[in-house]
Amino acid sequence: MPKPYSIDAKLLAGLELRGMPVSEFSKVAALDGIRGASKTKLNEAFRDADPLENEVAFNCWKLWEEIETLCQNFEPFVLSLRDGEQVHQWLKAVRNNEVVSVVFVGTDGHVMAPKEEGEKS
């Protein structure tokens, strides 16, 4: 476990809280151009074997804050962060002030997608 109050520790706590796998966060980091945040490097930092370099940790934390804000903006719904490429697409859309489209799946597995214009209920 990383040192308490370190960026590594806060990042790990955030990933665990939101249910985002380390491998998927590393994909988002790679797509965002953050070098030094591979799955292996992150796992080493989270085991406190080799902390992230300061710049990498800072960039990862900024990225995590964006993801956390995205999650908070969709509350009370819970976004699935299990697909790093999808999360990156959502972030790009928000950054570009585009519409973010999300499909909701009920607990019974029923897909609740937005209705198309002119579609009957």
| Rounded CA separation 84/40 (Å) | 16
- Residue range 94-107, pLDDT digits in tens: 999 987 666 666 67
The mean pLDDT value of the chain amounts to 87
Q: How high is the pLDDT of residue 24? A: 98
